Amino acid sequence: MFKVIIIGCGNIGFRHFEGLLKTDLSLVIYVIDPNVEALNRVQKCYEESNSEEKTCYFLESIKNIPEYIDLCIIATSSKVRLEVAERILKTTSVKYLILEKVLFQKESDYDQMSFLLKEYNVKGCWVNCPLRTLPIFMELKEKVNSNLNFYVEYRNFGIGCNSIHQLDLFSFLTNCLDLKIETSKLENVVESKREGYLEVLGILTASTNKEDTLIISSNIQSSPEYFMKLKFNEEIWTIFPLLEKITVEGTQNNEIIEKVINYPKQSSITSLLVTELLLLGKCSLPDYETSKKLHVNLIKNLNTFFSKVLDHKVIECPIT
């Protein structure tokens, strides 16, 4: 049986747990969270699943975990993620790691994590930016052979905590990691729905040296309908993730085709990714060093914006 640990069982950790229950693998799952209510919610989910192939333990600390773990998923907030990662690596031998985003708040944390992965001989570490793994975007990557203009709009997007997903997808589709990120059109700072963190509204842009562009727009004037519009070759693809549909428009003949797509939820994504990783040692998420480069670029630019708006130097980016 494979041994898996999930550290942090809030909303995203809970979805990862659901994904583990969906796999056909025999698993021993350790769920770690100091919040007893969160643990009880996950335990109830496990009991209702009646899973015979899964054995689960629900713990408030990592004191009683085994000496070897096949996979550790760290789904804590960004503020404590490095500390948690270091503690788990010092406590047990971890083969594979999946980290939630946004990874860390401080630039120095990113190099420290690189050091820890080598120091403790972790075989592979990936970051949960899964858009690049979805069939619709894998299909798009095969089609894009000209400049890409990528536009994202959603009133409830949350540019601070969500834009790394779009930046990763943009990087994946354009084969470019060296993005120029621009924050001059960000408008203001608001309280995040997660206590102790901030969010930003306005427009964030990114571009490549090949003139591909990404525009992320989120403010009170933005569309209440979440959509992504991608212009390339002689086509315009408009994807509505929450409605699971897409329109494809030919710019030469003005022909519009509407299709239903499968836009899987996190639990389904986790199920597929974990199965592939544990059985084959492969993972289609961005690896740590790839995501590190995008994260540091974003964090630097957001810190500059926060410093200007908050009128003091910000070195710990207050997003999660």
Q: What is the DSSP string of 84-139?
A: HHHHHHHHSEEEEEEE-SS--SSHHHHHHHHHHHHHTT-SEEEE--GGGGSHHHHH
Residue 263 parent element (H or E) = none
C-alpha to C-alpha distance for 15 and 18, rounded to whole angstroms: 5
C-alpha to C-alpha distance for 81 and 74, rounded to whole angstroms: 7
Closest CA to 126 of 261, 288, 301, 5: 288
Give the burial string for 261-287 (b: 16+ CB within 10 Å, else e). Answer: bebbebbebbbbbbbebbeeeebebbe
Q: Which two tokens stand for residue 176?
A: 């470019």
The pTM of this model reads: 0.96
- Name the burial class of residue 91, with classes exposed (0-12), middle (13-18) and buried (19+) by CB atoms within 10 angstroms of its CB: middle
DSSP state, residue 67 = S
C-alpha to C-alpha distance for 82 and 84, rounded to whole angstroms: 5
C-alpha to C-alpha distance for 16 and 113, rounded to whole angstroms: 22
Residue 252's pLDDT is: 85
Residues in the chain: 320
**3-state DSSP percent of the chain in helix, strand and coil, to 5:** 35, 30, 35
Parallel/antiparallel/unpaired status of strands 68-74 and 93-99: parallel
Residue 45 parent element (H or E) = helix 36-49
C-alpha to C-alpha distance for 74 and 97, rounded to whole angstroms: 8
Task: Per-residue pLDDT tens, the chain, 320 aa: give them.
Answer: 999 999 999 999 999 999 999 999 999 999 999 999 999 999 999 999 988 899 999 999 998 899 999 999 999 999 999 999 999 999 999 999 999 999 999 999 999 999 999 999 999 999 999 999 999 999 999 999 889 999 999 998 989 999 999 999 999 999 999 999 999 999 999 888 888 899 999 999 999 999 999 999 999 899 999 999 999 999 999 999 999 999 999 988 889 999 999 999 999 999 999 999 999 999 999 999 999 999 999 999 999 999 999 999 999 999 98
Residue 297 phi, psi (nearest 5): -60, -45
Parallel/antiparallel/unpaired status of strands 124-127 and 2-7: unpaired
